[in-house]
A and B are shown apart, each in its own frame.
Chain A
Amino acid sequence: MSPGFQGRPRSAEPALPPGQYLTQDFPVLSAGPTPKVPLDTWEFVITTETGAEYRWSWDELMALPQETPTVDIHCVTRWSKRDTTWQGVSLDTLLDGVDTGAHYVQAHSYGGYTTNLPLDDLRGGRAWVAHTFEGAPLPAEHGGPARLLVPHLYFWKSAKWVRGIRLTPTDEPGFWETAGYHDYGDPWREQRYQGD
Protein backbone atom coordinates (compact mmCIF):
# COMPACT_ATOMS: atom_id res chain seq x y z
CA MET A 1 0.00 0.00 0.00
CA SER A 2 1.20 3.47 -0.90
CA PRO A 3 -0.14 5.86 1.77
CA GLY A 4 -2.06 8.70 0.15
CA PHE A 5 -1.88 7.33 -3.40
CA GLN A 6 -5.18 7.56 -5.27
CA GLY A 7 -4.21 7.28 -8.92
CA ARG A 8 -6.26 8.39 -11.87
CA PRO A 9 -10.03 8.08 -11.73
CA ARG A 10 -10.99 4.47 -12.51
CA SER A 11 -12.38 4.30 -15.98
CA ALA A 12 -15.49 2.62 -17.31
CA GLU A 13 -13.78 2.28 -20.70
CA PRO A 14 -12.92 -1.17 -22.00
CA ALA A 15 -9.95 -2.45 -20.04
CA LEU A 16 -6.38 -1.92 -21.15
CA PRO A 17 -3.78 -4.65 -20.65
CA PRO A 18 -2.52 -4.71 -17.04
CA GLY A 19 -0.16 -1.91 -16.06
CA GLN A 20 -0.90 0.23 -19.15
CA TYR A 21 -2.27 3.77 -19.33
CA LEU A 22 -3.76 5.65 -22.27
CA THR A 23 -1.94 8.40 -24.12
CA GLN A 24 -3.12 10.66 -26.92
CA ASP A 25 0.48 11.25 -28.06
CA PHE A 26 2.62 8.85 -30.00
CA PRO A 27 5.85 8.49 -28.02
CA VAL A 28 9.02 7.22 -29.68
CA LEU A 29 11.20 4.43 -28.34
CA SER A 30 14.35 3.59 -30.27
CA ALA A 31 17.82 2.51 -29.30
CA GLY A 32 19.81 4.65 -31.71
CA PRO A 33 19.68 7.25 -34.45
CA THR A 34 16.73 7.11 -36.82
CA PRO A 35 17.80 5.50 -40.13
CA LYS A 36 16.86 7.40 -43.28
CA VAL A 37 15.88 4.87 -45.92
CA PRO A 38 15.40 6.03 -49.53
CA LEU A 39 12.42 4.46 -51.28
CA ASP A 40 14.23 3.72 -54.54
CA THR A 41 16.54 1.23 -52.82
CA TRP A 42 14.04 0.05 -50.19
CA GLU A 43 13.15 -3.62 -50.25
CA PHE A 44 11.43 -6.19 -48.10
CA VAL A 45 12.84 -9.71 -48.09
CA ILE A 46 11.52 -12.96 -46.68
CA THR A 47 14.34 -15.47 -46.24
CA THR A 48 13.43 -19.08 -45.51
CA GLU A 49 15.39 -21.55 -43.41
CA THR A 50 16.79 -23.04 -46.64
CA GLY A 51 18.02 -19.66 -47.85
CA ALA A 52 15.30 -19.06 -50.44
CA GLU A 53 14.46 -15.37 -50.79
CA TYR A 54 11.26 -13.58 -51.69
CA ARG A 55 11.76 -9.86 -52.44
CA TRP A 56 9.55 -6.84 -52.95
CA SER A 57 10.59 -3.37 -54.02
CA TRP A 58 8.61 -0.35 -52.75
CA ASP A 59 6.54 -0.24 -55.94
CA GLU A 60 5.89 -3.98 -55.78
CA LEU A 61 4.74 -3.67 -52.15
CA MET A 62 2.38 -0.86 -53.11
CA ALA A 63 0.95 -2.96 -55.93
CA LEU A 64 -0.13 -5.70 -53.50
CA PRO A 65 -3.61 -5.69 -51.91
CA GLN A 66 -3.67 -3.03 -49.17
CA GLU A 67 -5.47 -3.24 -45.84
CA THR A 68 -6.35 -0.48 -43.36
CA PRO A 69 -6.40 -1.97 -39.86
CA THR A 70 -7.59 0.13 -36.92
CA VAL A 71 -5.96 -1.26 -33.79
CA ASP A 72 -4.94 -0.49 -30.21
CA ILE A 73 -1.19 -0.48 -29.61
CA HIS A 74 0.63 -1.18 -26.34
CA CYS A 75 4.21 -0.13 -25.58
CA VAL A 76 6.21 -1.94 -22.92
CA THR A 77 7.03 1.48 -21.43
CA ARG A 78 3.36 1.39 -20.35
CA TRP A 79 1.57 3.71 -22.73
CA SER A 80 -1.27 2.42 -24.86
CA LYS A 81 -2.98 4.19 -27.72
CA ARG A 82 -6.44 3.30 -28.94
CA ASP A 83 -7.85 3.15 -32.47
CA THR A 84 -4.73 3.86 -34.48
CA THR A 85 -5.32 3.51 -38.21
CA TRP A 86 -2.69 2.15 -40.54
CA GLN A 87 -2.35 1.07 -44.12
CA GLY A 88 -0.16 -1.77 -45.23
CA VAL A 89 0.14 -5.25 -46.64
CA SER A 90 -0.90 -8.25 -44.60
CA LEU A 91 1.82 -10.77 -43.78
CA ASP A 92 -0.70 -13.37 -44.98
CA THR A 93 -0.33 -11.87 -48.43
CA LEU A 94 3.46 -11.76 -48.22
CA LEU A 95 3.78 -15.28 -46.80
CA ASP A 96 1.36 -16.75 -49.33
CA GLY A 97 3.37 -19.18 -51.44
CA VAL A 98 6.43 -19.08 -49.17
CA ASP A 99 7.51 -22.66 -48.63
CA THR A 100 8.69 -23.14 -45.04
CA GLY A 101 8.60 -25.53 -42.11
CA ALA A 102 9.97 -22.91 -39.69
CA HIS A 103 8.09 -21.94 -36.54
CA TYR A 104 9.76 -18.62 -35.73
CA VAL A 105 10.90 -15.48 -37.47
CA GLN A 106 13.47 -12.88 -36.74
CA ALA A 107 12.47 -9.53 -38.19
CA HIS A 108 15.40 -7.31 -39.15
CA SER A 109 15.54 -3.63 -39.91
CA TYR A 110 17.51 -0.93 -41.64
CA GLY A 111 19.83 0.27 -38.89
CA GLY A 112 20.40 -3.23 -37.50
CA TYR A 113 17.41 -3.71 -35.17
CA THR A 114 16.06 -7.25 -34.77
CA THR A 115 13.14 -8.85 -32.94
CA ASN A 116 11.83 -12.41 -32.75
CA LEU A 117 8.27 -13.70 -33.05
CA PRO A 118 6.52 -17.02 -33.63
CA LEU A 119 5.56 -17.36 -37.30
CA ASP A 120 1.96 -18.11 -36.33
CA ASP A 121 1.67 -14.62 -34.84
CA LEU A 122 2.31 -13.12 -38.27
CA ARG A 123 -0.57 -15.09 -39.79
CA GLY A 124 -4.33 -14.91 -39.49
CA GLY A 125 -4.82 -11.21 -40.25
CA ARG A 126 -2.82 -10.11 -37.22
CA ALA A 127 0.33 -8.61 -38.78
CA TRP A 128 1.17 -6.13 -41.54
CA VAL A 129 4.04 -4.33 -43.19
CA ALA A 130 2.61 -0.84 -42.61
CA HIS A 131 3.66 2.30 -44.48
CA THR A 132 0.87 4.77 -43.68
CA PHE A 133 -0.25 6.08 -40.30
CA GLU A 134 -3.48 8.06 -39.88
CA GLY A 135 -3.62 8.69 -43.60
CA ALA A 136 -0.08 10.04 -44.02
CA PRO A 137 3.25 8.41 -44.86
CA LEU A 138 4.71 6.84 -41.72
CA PRO A 139 7.28 9.32 -40.28
CA ALA A 140 10.85 8.04 -40.01
CA GLU A 141 10.94 8.31 -36.20
CA HIS A 142 7.93 6.00 -36.06
CA GLY A 143 9.55 3.49 -38.39
CA GLY A 144 8.96 4.82 -41.90
CA PRO A 145 9.13 4.10 -44.72
CA ALA A 146 7.63 0.87 -43.39
CA ARG A 147 7.42 -1.00 -40.14
CA LEU A 148 6.06 -4.28 -38.99
CA LEU A 149 2.69 -3.90 -37.27
CA VAL A 150 1.84 -6.71 -34.84
CA PRO A 151 -0.51 -4.95 -32.45
CA HIS A 152 -1.45 -7.96 -30.31
CA LEU A 153 2.13 -8.00 -28.93
CA TYR A 154 4.06 -5.23 -27.15
CA PHE A 155 5.01 -2.66 -29.72
CA TRP A 156 8.76 -3.35 -29.76
CA LYS A 157 7.81 -6.49 -31.74
CA SER A 158 6.47 -4.18 -34.47
CA ALA A 159 9.97 -3.60 -35.87
CA LYS A 160 10.53 -0.09 -37.22
CA TRP A 161 12.33 0.41 -40.57
CA VAL A 162 11.67 -3.24 -41.31
CA ARG A 163 13.76 -4.72 -44.09
CA GLY A 164 12.75 -8.33 -43.92
CA ILE A 165 12.00 -11.43 -41.91
CA ARG A 166 14.16 -14.48 -41.61
CA LEU A 167 12.33 -17.76 -40.97
CA THR A 168 14.09 -19.76 -38.28
CA PRO A 169 13.54 -23.25 -36.87
CA THR A 170 14.24 -22.02 -33.32
CA ASP A 171 13.35 -18.84 -31.41
CA GLU A 172 16.39 -16.55 -31.67
CA PRO A 173 16.25 -13.56 -29.30
CA GLY A 174 16.49 -10.18 -31.03
CA PHE A 175 17.78 -6.80 -29.89
CA TRP A 176 15.61 -5.99 -26.86
CA GLU A 177 15.06 -9.67 -26.06
CA THR A 178 18.83 -10.09 -25.64
CA ALA A 179 18.79 -7.00 -23.41
CA GLY A 180 16.33 -8.58 -20.98
CA TYR A 181 12.91 -8.23 -22.59
CA HIS A 182 10.46 -11.08 -23.09
CA ASP A 183 10.72 -13.42 -26.08
CA TYR A 184 6.96 -13.34 -26.75
CA GLY A 185 5.67 -10.09 -25.20
CA ASP A 186 1.92 -10.57 -24.75
CA PRO A 187 0.61 -7.37 -23.12
CA TRP A 188 -2.47 -9.13 -21.72
CA ARG A 189 -0.22 -11.51 -19.79
CA GLU A 190 2.15 -8.61 -18.98
CA GLN A 191 5.17 -10.37 -20.48
CA ARG A 192 7.52 -7.42 -20.24
CA TYR A 193 10.81 -8.92 -19.17
CA GLN A 194 12.53 -12.29 -19.54
CA GLY A 195 10.95 -14.69 -17.08
CA ASP A 196 7.56 -12.88 -16.87
Chain B
Amino acid sequence: MICENCKERPASVILTQESSGGLMERHLCEKCAFQSQTFQFDPNQEPLSIQQFLSHWFGGADPFQAPQQNRGAANHGPECSSCGLTFSKFLDIGKFGCATCYETFKVQLPSVLGKLHNGHSVHVGKIPISFNEIYSVKKKIEELRVKMKDAVDSERFEEAAVLRDEANALKAGLDNGGDVSDVD
Protein backbone atom coordinates (compact mmCIF):
# COMPACT_ATOMS: atom_id res chain seq x y z
CA MET B 1 0.00 0.00 0.00
CA ILE B 2 1.18 3.49 -0.85
CA CYS B 3 1.29 6.33 1.68
CA GLU B 4 -1.95 8.34 1.59
CA ASN B 5 -0.15 11.58 2.16
CA CYS B 6 2.85 11.69 -0.19
CA LYS B 7 1.52 8.97 -2.50
CA GLU B 8 5.10 7.95 -3.20
CA ARG B 9 6.56 5.84 -0.44
CA PRO B 10 5.11 2.56 0.84
CA ALA B 11 2.84 2.96 3.87
CA SER B 12 4.32 1.37 6.96
CA VAL B 13 2.38 3.12 9.69
CA ILE B 14 -1.32 2.98 10.44
CA LEU B 15 -2.52 6.11 12.09
CA THR B 16 -5.86 6.23 13.87
CA GLN B 17 -7.41 9.64 14.18
CA GLU B 18 -10.58 10.80 15.80
CA SER B 19 -12.70 12.85 13.46
CA SER B 20 -16.29 14.04 13.40
CA GLY B 21 -17.32 10.83 11.69
CA GLY B 22 -15.70 8.62 14.34
CA LEU B 23 -12.34 6.88 14.17
CA MET B 24 -10.48 7.14 10.90
CA GLU B 25 -7.54 5.07 9.79
CA ARG B 26 -4.79 6.59 7.70
CA HIS B 27 -1.97 4.63 6.11
CA LEU B 28 1.25 6.63 6.02
CA CYS B 29 4.93 6.12 5.41
CA GLU B 30 7.35 6.63 8.28
CA LYS B 31 8.35 10.03 7.03
CA CYS B 32 4.83 11.44 6.68
CA ALA B 33 3.90 9.94 10.04
CA PHE B 34 6.80 11.86 11.52
CA GLN B 35 5.45 15.07 10.08
CA SER B 36 1.83 14.49 10.99
CA GLN B 37 0.24 16.07 14.05
CA THR B 38 -1.12 13.20 16.09
CA PHE B 39 -1.22 9.57 15.34
CA GLN B 40 -1.24 6.11 16.72
CA PHE B 41 0.18 2.86 15.51
CA ASP B 42 -1.87 -0.17 14.76
CA PRO B 43 -1.01 -2.48 17.63
CA ASN B 44 -1.47 -5.55 15.48
CA GLN B 45 0.96 -4.45 12.85
CA GLU B 46 4.35 -5.27 14.32
CA PRO B 47 3.96 -6.99 17.64
CA LEU B 48 7.39 -6.16 19.01
CA SER B 49 8.40 -3.01 17.23
CA ILE B 50 10.40 -0.50 19.18
CA GLN B 51 7.55 1.99 18.90
CA GLN B 52 5.15 -0.30 20.70
CA PHE B 53 7.80 -1.28 23.15
CA LEU B 54 8.31 2.37 24.08
CA SER B 55 4.69 3.35 24.16
CA HIS B 56 3.93 0.24 26.19
CA TRP B 57 6.39 1.31 28.85
CA PHE B 58 6.03 5.05 28.73
CA GLY B 59 3.26 6.18 26.46
CA GLY B 60 -0.42 6.55 27.11
CA ALA B 61 -2.01 3.82 25.06
CA ASP B 62 -1.41 0.16 25.75
CA PRO B 63 -0.13 -1.25 22.46
CA PHE B 64 -1.68 -4.61 23.18
CA GLN B 65 -5.16 -3.17 23.33
CA ALA B 66 -7.32 -1.94 20.52
CA PRO B 67 -6.58 1.61 19.44
CA GLN B 68 -9.03 4.03 20.96
CA GLN B 69 -9.39 7.04 23.22
CA ASN B 70 -7.17 9.87 24.22
CA ARG B 71 -4.62 11.13 21.86
CA GLY B 72 -5.46 14.60 23.07
CA ALA B 73 -2.47 14.30 25.32
CA ALA B 74 -0.23 13.65 22.35
CA ASN B 75 1.70 16.86 22.63
CA HIS B 76 2.77 16.60 26.25
CA GLY B 77 6.36 16.88 27.31
CA PRO B 78 9.27 18.88 25.96
CA GLU B 79 9.56 19.72 22.30
CA CYS B 80 12.83 19.68 20.39
CA SER B 81 13.82 23.23 19.48
CA SER B 82 15.54 22.00 16.37
CA CYS B 83 13.32 19.47 14.58
CA GLY B 84 10.10 20.01 16.56
CA LEU B 85 9.69 16.44 17.79
CA THR B 86 7.74 16.18 21.04
CA PHE B 87 8.55 13.58 23.65
CA SER B 88 5.22 11.79 23.30
CA LYS B 89 5.68 11.67 19.56
CA PHE B 90 9.14 10.24 20.06
CA LEU B 91 7.57 7.48 22.11
CA ASP B 92 5.09 6.86 19.32
CA ILE B 93 7.51 6.60 16.44
CA GLY B 94 10.45 5.28 18.44
CA LYS B 95 12.97 7.44 16.60
CA PHE B 96 14.73 10.72 17.25
CA GLY B 97 14.52 13.40 14.60
CA CYS B 98 17.92 14.94 15.23
CA ALA B 99 20.85 15.02 17.64
CA THR B 100 19.31 17.95 19.56
CA CYS B 101 16.41 15.67 20.60
CA TYR B 102 18.84 13.93 22.96
CA GLU B 103 19.54 17.25 24.68
CA THR B 104 15.83 18.13 24.76
CA PHE B 105 14.80 14.81 26.34
CA LYS B 106 17.84 14.55 28.58
CA VAL B 107 15.75 14.20 31.73
CA GLN B 108 13.44 11.52 30.34
CA LEU B 109 16.00 9.54 28.39
CA PRO B 110 17.80 7.58 31.12
CA SER B 111 14.63 5.65 31.94
CA VAL B 112 13.79 5.04 28.27
CA LEU B 113 17.32 3.92 27.40
CA GLY B 114 17.55 1.86 30.56
CA LYS B 115 14.55 -0.22 29.50
CA LEU B 116 16.17 -0.89 26.13
CA HIS B 117 19.69 -1.53 27.35
CA ASN B 118 19.42 -3.75 30.42
CA GLY B 119 19.29 -0.83 32.84
CA HIS B 120 22.16 1.10 31.28
CA SER B 121 21.89 4.64 29.96
CA VAL B 122 25.50 5.78 29.91
CA HIS B 123 27.98 5.27 27.10
CA VAL B 124 31.27 3.71 28.11
CA GLY B 125 32.59 2.75 24.67
CA LYS B 126 34.58 4.44 21.97
CA ILE B 127 35.02 8.22 22.00
CA PRO B 128 35.80 9.99 18.72
CA ILE B 129 39.43 11.09 18.65
CA SER B 130 38.55 14.73 18.00
CA PHE B 131 36.09 14.68 20.88
CA ASN B 132 38.65 13.04 23.09
CA GLU B 133 41.11 15.84 22.39
CA ILE B 134 38.58 18.54 23.21
CA TYR B 135 37.55 16.64 26.30
CA SER B 136 41.11 16.29 27.57
CA VAL B 137 41.85 19.97 26.94
CA LYS B 138 38.74 20.88 28.94
CA LYS B 139 39.94 18.65 31.76
CA LYS B 140 43.39 20.27 31.64
CA ILE B 141 41.91 23.78 31.85
CA GLU B 142 39.90 22.72 34.87
CA GLU B 143 43.01 21.34 36.56
CA LEU B 144 44.94 24.53 35.84
CA ARG B 145 42.20 26.63 37.37
CA VAL B 146 42.15 24.55 40.53
CA LYS B 147 45.93 24.95 40.84
CA MET B 148 45.58 28.66 40.14
CA LYS B 149 43.07 29.01 42.96
CA ASP B 150 45.43 27.17 45.29
CA ALA B 151 48.25 29.49 44.29
CA VAL B 152 46.11 32.56 44.90
CA ASP B 153 44.95 31.25 48.26
CA SER B 154 48.51 30.76 49.39
CA GLU B 155 49.51 34.12 47.90
CA ARG B 156 51.86 32.69 45.24
CA PHE B 157 50.66 35.30 42.78
CA GLU B 158 53.41 34.95 40.20
CA GLU B 159 52.75 31.25 39.87
CA ALA B 160 49.02 31.94 39.67
CA ALA B 161 49.56 34.37 36.81
CA VAL B 162 51.54 31.77 34.86
CA LEU B 163 48.78 29.20 35.39
CA ARG B 164 46.13 31.72 34.37
CA ASP B 165 47.97 32.49 31.14
CA GLU B 166 48.35 28.79 30.41
CA ALA B 167 44.65 28.15 30.96
CA ASN B 168 43.67 31.13 28.83
CA ALA B 169 45.91 29.98 26.01
CA LEU B 170 44.29 26.53 26.02
CA LYS B 171 40.83 28.06 26.10
CA ALA B 172 41.65 30.35 23.22
CA GLY B 173 42.85 27.30 21.27
CA LEU B 174 39.58 25.52 21.95
CA ASP B 175 37.48 28.55 21.01
CA ASN B 176 39.25 28.81 17.71
CA GLY B 177 39.08 25.10 17.08
CA GLY B 178 35.37 24.46 17.37
CA ASP B 179 32.11 24.92 19.18
CA VAL B 180 33.35 24.41 22.71
CA SER B 181 31.51 27.25 24.32
CA ASP B 182 30.79 25.66 27.66
CA VAL B 183 34.28 25.81 29.11
CA ASP B 184 33.44 28.66 31.43
Q: Do A and B bind each other?
A: no
Give the B-binding residues of A (Cβ under 8 A).
Answer: none
